[in-house]
Amino acid sequence: MTWVIRLLVAAISALFLIIGVRAMLDPQSIITQFELGRQGVTGTSAIRADMGGFFVGTALAALIGLFPGKRQWLLGAAGMVALAFTGRAIGLLSDGLTANIAQSMIIEAITIALLVAAFGILNPRRREALAAERAAEAETQRLATEQERLAAEQNDMMAQNDDQQQRDRDLAQPIV
């Protein structure tokens, strides 16, 4: 399960990274995609810095969160996306809904849920509990095997004892 969640977080991070790098290197594609209208030098710079920085920063935070002991970064990334979602929700109330806005909000909601779920699933205590559970199962299996072996030995000893008693009885009989 953890490899699936890691793969999904990596995939969404790759998507955000691509969008962020596009915003920095080709702001015109972002201007068109997000219907930002005509921009001057200052607006283009803001798209490169603000949008590019947001997407690249979120992607890097999510990726860092995949490393052991760094899962709190997943919540930082989720918080950043949640703020973007909040901004869209405010715009939704005042400006209305378009297909592009709905698509963006759905992607953001899924991203937030994924990052928060990853935070929970990648919990080291959960891994420790699973490892302890596996160890307990292995120990139970080992004990069961040991009990079976001891029972087989006991049966063998009882059979040998029965054979010895039969020999003793046979030898105790007078020869006629």
Under 8 Å CB-to-CB from 10, ≥6 apart: which residues?
63, 66
Same domain, 108 and 40: yes
Residue 171 lies in domain: 124-176
State the average pLDDT over residues 116-142: 83
Record the pTM. 0.68
**What would the DSSP string read from start to end of 33-44?**
HTT-----HHHH
Same domain, 92 and 133: no
Same domain, 116 and 45: yes
Rounded CA separation 25/80 (Å): 22
Same domain, 63 and 23: yes
Q: What is the pLDDT of residues 64-73, one digit of tens each?
A: 999 988 999 9
Q: What is the pLDDT of residues 2-56, one digit of tens each?
A: 889 999 999 999 999 999 999 999 999 888 888 888 888 999 999 999 999 999 9
Q: What is the pLDDT of residues 131-165, one digit of tens each?
A: 778 888 989 999 889 999 898 889 888 888 888 88
Residue 123 has pLDDT above 90, yes or no: no
Same domain, 113 and 159: no
Supply the Cα-derived Rg of the chain in whole angstroms. 33
Rounded CA separation 176/153 (Å): 38
Q: Which of 19, 34, 39, 12 is nearest to 100 (CA)?
A: 34
Question: How many folded domains does the chain comprise?
Answer: 2
Same domain, 174 and 135: yes
Q: Which of 9, 5, 29, 10 is nearest to 19 (CA)?
A: 29
Same domain, 95 and 166: no
Same domain, 141 and 101: no
Which pLDDT does position 127 carry in this prediction? 61
Q: Which of 16-30, 97-111, 120-134 has the lowest mean pLDDT?
A: 120-134
Q: Which of 69, 72, 68, 22 is nearest to 48 (CA)?
A: 22
Which pLDDT does position 45 carry in this prediction? 92
Rounded CA separation 102/108 (Å): 10
Residue 90 has pLDDT above 90, yes or no: yes
Same domain, 132 and 101: no
Question: Half-sphere exposure (CA, 13 Å, Cβ side) for 124?
Answer: 8
Same domain, 85 and 172: no
pLDDT-based confidence at 126, cuts 50/70/90? low
